[in-house]
């Protein structure tokens, strides 16, 4: 089969690879119909998340059809149209039984790297380096899904592929970010990042009761898209002092909750951003916490900062003093896909959320390298490129 592979830092290629097979009783083989690029893939492609090997298949946000099932699979049959969570969860450990699926104890078969870096290993993730288990990813014609009864959820009839695919990752990630905010109704929520996750976090915040949502970015097309599809307010951080603007918009209080949906390759303005770039380039810090800092400084006293952007290691100049003295609640984590997917598919089917517009660039699998280039460089209004191994299904 064909697959989009990592060929070294900044290099991608479509290569011929062996087909996957059933390896364990709970496995399913999924024929991929749609597989989205994701901002977190850029951290792998650019070498910021280590333990990639040449020839590894990328991709973790996808949907498709069940092609084959192992003998222990009970809920799926061949031909079912399913969306698959990017995080792999066994269903039997303490964390899975308490619905904290991204902390699964048994789904990362190569836990040593994560344990040395973070103290404990979280769950495995499809197509996300050998630090996350070394699983082959979904930018391919077929992919093996372990513990498929839990990880693959049937898609309601009538829901288009290009909407359903975002129930795999961007939408549950955004939902969890908004859920972290503990909204009761009427709050002001600021979201850093108008990418797919940021926009889904904004929509989730609206559905969970936020009275006002403000999205911060610098890409005009993305802010326009968020304003048009979600009815949110926007701040262009390249033109405006974000902290001043948020204080003014909230009569001096600051937002009740701040969602960081940017992650370790954040962009910014001014000397502190230059400092972050230099430190990251010299590997004196692994991540650029530009947006996290701003979110902490912006949040109101006693407010919440929800960090859902991906971070890998160490950051510098983290304003812990502000977090402590303002009594902020900090919440963070990889999303628990299996907890949210069924509920979100119902909401998609009911029309409460329509993420189909996020797919600005439906492409063939062969166009994957070009899709990532457009996505990374934010060219041609690219918010998400969704790869279709069979373009006729796009």
Closest CA to 310 of 266, 269, 277, 369: 266
* CA gap 270, 258 in Å, rounded: 21
Tell me the closest approach of the beta carbon of residue 84 to other proteins, in angstroms: 15
DSSP reduced 3-state for 339: helix
Q: Is 120 in the site for other proteins (CB under 8 A)?
A: yes
Task: At 3, give phi and psi (nearest 5°).
Answer: -150, 150
Does 354 bind other proteins (CB under 8 A)? Our answer is no
How many angstroms separate the Cα of 118 from the Cα of each of 111, 220, 255? 10, 37, 31
Which residues are bridge partners to 331 per DSSP? 306
- Residue closer to other proteins by CB (options 124, 362) is 124
Of the candidate spans 133-141, 154-162, 195-203, 367-375, the one that interacts with other proteins by CB under 8 A turns out to be 133-141
Structure tokens at 235: 């701040």
Count the site residues for other proteins by CB under 8 A.
51
Within 13 Å of residue 21, how many CA atoms lie on the same side as its CB? 2
For the CB of residue 135, give the shortest distance to other proteins in the complex, in Å.
5
Where residue 10 falls (left for φ over 0; alpha for ψ -120 to 50; beta otherwise) is left
The one among 22, 50, 130, 373 contacting other proteins by CB under 8 A: 130
Asked if residue 90 binds other proteins (CB under 8 A), the reply is yes
Q: Kindly list the distances between the CA atom of residue 371 and the CA atoms of 9, 45, 180, 302, 364, in Å, as whole numbers in the listed order.
A: 16, 13, 32, 42, 9
Of the listed pieces 104-112, 165-173, 204-212, 357-365, which binds other proteins according to CB under 8 A? Answer: 104-112
Q: C-beta of 354: minimal distance to other proteins in Å?
A: 34
Which of positions 139-198 make contact with other proteins (CB under 8 A)?
Answer: 140, 144, 146-147
Q: Report the candidate in 373, 340, 317 with the shortest Cα–Cα distance to residue 177.
A: 340
Look at the chain and count its residues: 394
Q: Which of residues 45, 69, 121, 387 is near other proteins by CB under 8 A?
A: 121
Contact pick of 100, 136, 290, 360 for other proteins (by CB under 8 A) = 136
Q: Which is nearer to other proteins, 105 or 269 (CB)?
A: 105
| Closer residue to other proteins (CB): 113 or 166 | 113
Residue number, 52 or 165, with CB nearest to other proteins: 52
Write down the least CB distance from residue 162 to other proteins, Å: 25
- Under the binding rule (CB under 8 A), the answer on residue 112 touching other proteins is yes
| DSSP letter for each residue of 246-305 | HHHHTTTS--SEEEE---TB----HHHHHHHHHHHHTTSSSSB-HHHHHHHHHSPTT-EE
Considering only CA atoms, which of 39, 342, 32, 33 is closest in space to residue 167? Answer: 342
Residue 112 CB, shortest distance to other proteins, in Å, is: 4
**Tokens (6 digits) for 200:** 């889904």
In the shown chain, the binding pattern of residues 34 to 63 toward other proteins, with x for contact by CB under 8 A and - for none, equals: -----------------x-xxxxx------
Q: Does 15 bind other proteins (CB under 8 A)?
A: yes
Q: Which of 8, 25, 156, 186 binds other proteins (CB under 8 A)?
A: 25
Residue span binding other proteins (CB under 8 A) among the ranges 109-117, 209-217, 297-305, 382-390: 109-117
HSE value, Cβ hemisphere, 13 Å, CA-based, for 28: 30
Q: Which stretch binds other proteins (CB under 8 A): 41-49, 118-126, 201-209, 251-259?
A: 118-126
Nearest to 192 by CA among 205, 182, 208, 183: 205
- Cα distance between residue 311 and residue 23, in whole Å: 31
Instruction: Decide if residue 111 touches other proteins (CB under 8 A).
Output: yes
Nearer to other proteins, 20 or 362 (CB): 20
**Per rule CB under 8 A, is residue 75 in the interface with other proteins?**
no
Name which of 26 and 268 has its Cβ closer to other proteins: 26
Task: Give the residues lining the site for other proteins (CB under 8 A).
Answer: 1, 3, 5, 13, 15-20, 23-26, 51, 53-57, 72, 88, 90-94, 97, 105-113, 115, 120-121, 124, 130-131, 133-136, 140, 144, 146-147
């Amino acid at each position: 089969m064909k697959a989009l592979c990592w060929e070294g830092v900044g290099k991608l290629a479509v290569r011929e690879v062996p087909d996957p097979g059933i390896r364990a009783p709970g496995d399913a083989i999924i024929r991929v119909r749609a597989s989205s690029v994701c901002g977190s893939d850029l951290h792998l492609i650019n070498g910021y998340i280590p333990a990639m090997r040449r020839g590894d298949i990328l991709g973790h946000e996808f949907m498709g059809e069940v092609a084959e099932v192992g003998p222990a699979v009970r809920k799926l049959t061949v031909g079912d149209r399913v969306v698959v969570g990017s995080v792999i969860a066994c269903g039997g450990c303490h964390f899975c039984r308490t619905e904290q699926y991204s902390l699964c104890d048994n789904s990362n078969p190569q836990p040593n790297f994560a344990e040395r870096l973070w103290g404990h290993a979280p769950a495995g993730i499809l197509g996300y380096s050998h630090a996350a288990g070394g699983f082959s990813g979904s930018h391919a014609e077929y992919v093996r899904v372990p513990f498929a009864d839990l990880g693959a959820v049937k898609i309601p009839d009538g829901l288009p592929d290009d909407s359903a695919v975002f129930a795999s990752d961007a939408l549950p990630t955004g939902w969890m970010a908004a859920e972290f905010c503990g909204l009761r109704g009427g709050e002001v929520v600021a979201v850093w990042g108008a990418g797919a996750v940021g926009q889904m976090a904004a929509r989730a915040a609206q559905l969970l009761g936020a009275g006002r949502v403000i999205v911060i970015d610098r890409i005009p097309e993305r802010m326009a898209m968020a304003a048009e599809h979600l009815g949110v307010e926007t701040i262009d951080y390249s033109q405006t002092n974000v902290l001043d603007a948020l204080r003014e918009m909230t009569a001096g209080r600051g937002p009740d909750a701040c969602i960081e949906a940017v992650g370790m390759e954040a962009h910014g303005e001014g000397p502190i951003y230059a400092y972050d770039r230099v430190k990251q380039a010299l590997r004196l810090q692994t991540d650029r916490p530009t947006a996290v800092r701003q979110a902490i400084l912006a949040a109101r006293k006693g407010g919440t900062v929800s960090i859902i952007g991906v971070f890998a290691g160490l950051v510098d100049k983290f304003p812990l003093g502000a977090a402590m003295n303002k009594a902020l609640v900090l919440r963070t984590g990889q999303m628990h896909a299996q907890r949210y997917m069924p509920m979100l598919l119902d909401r998609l089917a009911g029309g409460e959320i329509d993420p189909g517009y996020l797919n600005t660039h439906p492409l063939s699998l062969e166009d994957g390298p070009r899709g990532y280039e457009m996505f990374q460089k934010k060219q041609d209004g690219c918010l998400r490129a969704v790869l279709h191994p069979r373009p006729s299904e796009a």
